[in-house]
């Protein structure tokens, strides 16, 4: 009979442990998302319908180093640069796209969707210095359901581009295993 009590007790403890594990996996957590990016900038291309008046699109191919958790990410797309409506020496910079990396679990490319909005100042003989905010909204694999934002600072945009970012990603699972 004591054997049955032991089995019932072991089953109860195992179930309690499983419930605690499930609760921990369903909680969200924050993960620092910071690093540096460098990019090549292509020749300007025509603006698209819906772009702000007087804007120009620039193809930008960037590589970002996002620390030990996220490694190296790529981000290719077109930045839209438009004159500021309030300051003739300033511009507004926007971008919508994805960071793409490869997860360590052997899966395919992992993507993190983002939008960027920033302000730049035209600096003669240097290009545009800029700051702004990246906002993250989901993606694939480990970024599925993620959200967050990063402050973009120390940006310089000219024949090339470089910037730093510092923020947080919030995940709704514990699968940040890059």
Torsion of CA 18, 20, 21, 26, to 10 degrees: 130
Query: CA angle 121-126-127, nearest 5°?
Result: 50
- Decide which of 3.30.1130.10, 3.30.450.40, 2.40.160.20, 2.60.120.560 is the CATH code for 29-171: 2.40.160.20
Q: Supply the pLDDT for residue 103.
A: 57
| Residues 6+ away with beta carbon under 8 Å from 96 | 77, 114, 115, 116
Rounded CA gap, 16 and 119, in Å?
52
pLDDT the model gives residue 172: 62
pLDDT score, position 116: 94
What residue segments make up the domains of the chain, in order of their start? 29-171
- Measure the CA angle with vertex 91, ends 150 and 166; round to 5°: 10
Q: How far is CA 116 from CA 13, 72, 76, 124, 172, in A?
A: 48, 19, 13, 24, 23
Residue 173 pLDDT: 54
The DSSP secondary structure of 41-80, one letter per residue, reads: E---B---TTSPTT-EEEEEEEEEE-HHHH-EEEEEEEEE
pTM of the predicted protein model: 0.75
Averages of pLDDT over runs of 10 residues in the chain (178 residues) are: 42 29 36 90 93 93 83 88 92 91 65 92 90 91 84 91 92 52
Q: What's the pLDDT at 162?
A: 95
């Amino acid at each position: 009979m004591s054997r049955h009590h032991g089995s019932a007790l072991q089953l109860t403890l195992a179930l309690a442990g499983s419930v605690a594990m499930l609760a921990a996996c369903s909680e969200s957590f924050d993960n620092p998302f910071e690093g540096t990016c460098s990019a090549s900038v292509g020749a300007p291309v025509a603006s698209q319908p819906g772009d702000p008046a007087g804007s120009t699109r620039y193809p930008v191919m960037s590589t970002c180093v996002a620390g030990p958790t996220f490694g190296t990410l790529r981000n290719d797309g077109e930045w839209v640069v438009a004159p500021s409506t309030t300051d003739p020496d300033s511009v507004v910079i926007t971008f919508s796209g994805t960071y793409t990396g490869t997860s360590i679990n052997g899966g395919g490319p992992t993507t993190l969707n983002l939008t960027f909005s920033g302000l730049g100042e035209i600096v003669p003989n240097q290009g545009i210095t800029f700051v702004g905010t990246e906002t993250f909204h989901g993606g694939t694999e480990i970024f599925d359901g993620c959200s967050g934002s990063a402050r973009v600072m120390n940006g310089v945009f000219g024949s090339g581009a470089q910037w730093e970012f510092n923020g947080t990603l919030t995940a709704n699972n514990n699968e940040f295993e890059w």
